[in-house]
Amino acid sequence: MSSENIERKEKKSYAYAWGVTVCLSLGYALSFLDRELLSLVIEPVKQSFELTDFQVSLLMGPAFAIFYTVMGIPLGWAADRYSRTRLIAIGMSLWSVMTAFCGLSANFLQIFIARIGIGVGEAALTPSAVSLLSDYFPKTKLPFALSIYSIGMFIGAGMAGVGGGYVLTLLRDVTWTVPIFGTLVFWQIGFLIAASPGVLLALIILFIREPKRKEMATDHKGNDQKASFPMAFKYMWERKKMFLCLFVGGSMVAILQYQSLWYPEHFMRSWDWTRAQAGQATGLPTIFGGISGLLLGGYYMSSQAKKGVKDIALKLAFISAIGIAIPAVLMPLMSDTALAIGGVTIIKFFVAMPLIAGTTAIRMAVPNQMRGQFTAMYFVFVGLIGANLGPVMPGFINTYIFGEAAGTLGYALAISAALTIPFSTILLWISWGEYKKHVYKDD
């Protein structure tokens, strides 16, 4: 084959790979749209089911996060063995259906179960997506590809804020009568609308081509090994200081991301904003701050990787943990709306910049057939710590310490951030040091 034909084939292959990346990113966007829509309808849900802030925080956190986390391990194991596109399509269909059930719920228990279903479905996405992209792209291009994938998080969260806030405002006087389920009000209709695109995208995902798995670990005869969970756990435990500090430190940063689910409600309570205004005030900073942080972080990691800098992922994670500290504590206390929105933008920027650091570090340090399981283990920690404590800490503090008094939600958010930040910076600093020893050991 001539060099020209080889070059043409490579370009076609990369074009397909980037198309897959965009498709997976769109799926990630829909997952965040479905999971974060609840943050815009806290007050009407509280009124419909007579709930406290703490009970709402259980819906935003544990109901979703515990099962998202628990299912991550077996689904990561499955991603290392079975069709990753089928796993994603099944998971996407499940979380879309359960999003619709959120809108059809008649009490706290029913919507709690629906949130569990969303968590189970979404747990299938990232381990399989990261595994797919790791086989579509070489090491030097992977960080940027993961950045494009992760952009979906901020597009979805931003869509939930901007688009969701606007649509919910338009629907505020609308009711639907549905057989069996009775009359649905505006916030329930919003969940039904949000559920529909995921089913269509799941059908498209089924037609994505599975790439050949690369960089497989081998036995002493050179044959590919199947990585059991005990084998992956042994690999992790032999490097426990590096991985545990990475997993827990990254989870502490995730707390700051997930506590932002309270930002729209904080703005509505503090400044008597409409749902559309609060959605824009959080959605636009999420889109612009989040995407710029992701792209800059991904580009910087890719450029440094090309220069042979092997520890750049965790270096960037540590720097970002320091950068987020002051705005995360001060933003909820600000009385000036412009400064508060600017603070949200900075928070989203620094949360996003190192977002792919964990998965990139895993990609660089772990054999192929363990990556799905390691990615799942990483998200187990992010789920159990970040996605649980992020929404629950402010809700608990505001309900049981401040008694949900007027104007206290901002103090609860500031206290939550102040308790979290020291742990994230120290643990990521330790992990970075251990990671440098690991990746440079053969140099």
- pLDDT for 214: 67
- pLDDT for 4: 55
Question: In angstroms, rounded to a whole number, what is the distance separating the alpha carbons of residues 285 and 158?
Answer: 8
Q: How many CB atoms neighbour CB 183 within 10 A? A: 9
- CA proximity to 103, closest of 158, 181, 198, 197: 181
Burial environment of residue 125 by CB neighbours within 10 A (0 to 12, 13 to 18, 19 or more): buried
- CA proximity to 148, closest of 41, 29, 42: 29
- pLDDT for 219: 52
| Out of 106-115, 146-155, 419-428, least confident range | 146-155
Name the residue ranges covered by the structural domains of the chain. Answer: 7-207+229-439
For 418-425, what is the mean pLDDT?
95
Contact 367, 215 (CB under 8 A): yes
Using pLDDT thresholds of 50, 70 and 90, give the confidence band for residue 81.
confident
Using pLDDT thresholds of 50, 70 and 90, give the confidence band for residue 211.
confident
Q: How many helices (H) and strands (E) does the chain have?
A: 21, 2
- Single pTM value for the model: 0.84
Would you say residue 369 has pLDDT above 80?
A: no
Question: In angstroms, rounded to a whole number, what is the distance separating the alpha carbons of residues 304 and 357?
Answer: 13
Q: Which CATH architecture has domain 7-207+229-439?
A: Up-down Bundle (1.20)
Mean pLDDT of the chain: 89
Amino acid found at 172? R
Would you say residue 34 has pLDDT above 60?
A: yes
Contact 36, 261 (CB under 8 A): yes
Q: How many CB atoms neighbour CB 300 within 10 A? A: 18
What share of the chain has pLDDT > 70, as a percent?
A: 94
Please list, in sequence order, all residues whose beta carbon lies within 8 angstroms of the beta carbon of residue 250, skipping any fewer than 6 positions away.
317, 357, 358, 378, 381, 382, 386, 428
What share of the chain has pLDDT > 90, as a percent?
A: 60
Would you say residue 220 has pLDDT above 60?
A: no
**3-state percent breakdown (helix, strand, coil) of the chain, nearest 5:** 80, 0, 20
Question: In angstroms, rounded to a whole number, what is the distance separating the alpha carbons of residues 71 and 65?
Answer: 10
Question: In angstroms, rounded to a whole number, what is the distance separating the alpha carbons of residues 210 and 222?
Answer: 24
Question: In angstroms, rounded to a whole number, what is the distance separating the alpha carbons of residues 33 and 66?
Answer: 19
Would you say residue 215 has pLDDT above 60?
A: no
- pLDDT for 134: 87
* Backbone conformation region of residue 308, classed left if phi is above 0, alpha if psi is from -120 to 50, else beta: left
The dihedral sign for the CA sequence 174, 163, 92, 13: positive
- pLDDT for 1: 52
Rounded to whole angstroms, what are the CA distances from 20 to 26, 136, 203? 10, 9, 14
Question: What 8-state DSSP symbol labels residue 383?
Answer: I
Question: In angstroms, rounded to a whole number, what is the distance separating the alpha carbons of residues 110 and 100?
Answer: 12
- pLDDT for 54: 96
Which residue shows structure tokens 């600017």?
342
- pLDDT for 328: 96
315-347 residue pLDDT tens: 999 999 999 999 999 999 999 999 999 999 999
- pLDDT for 362: 85
For 133-145, what is the mean pLDDT?
84
Would you say residue 305 has pLDDT above 90?
A: no
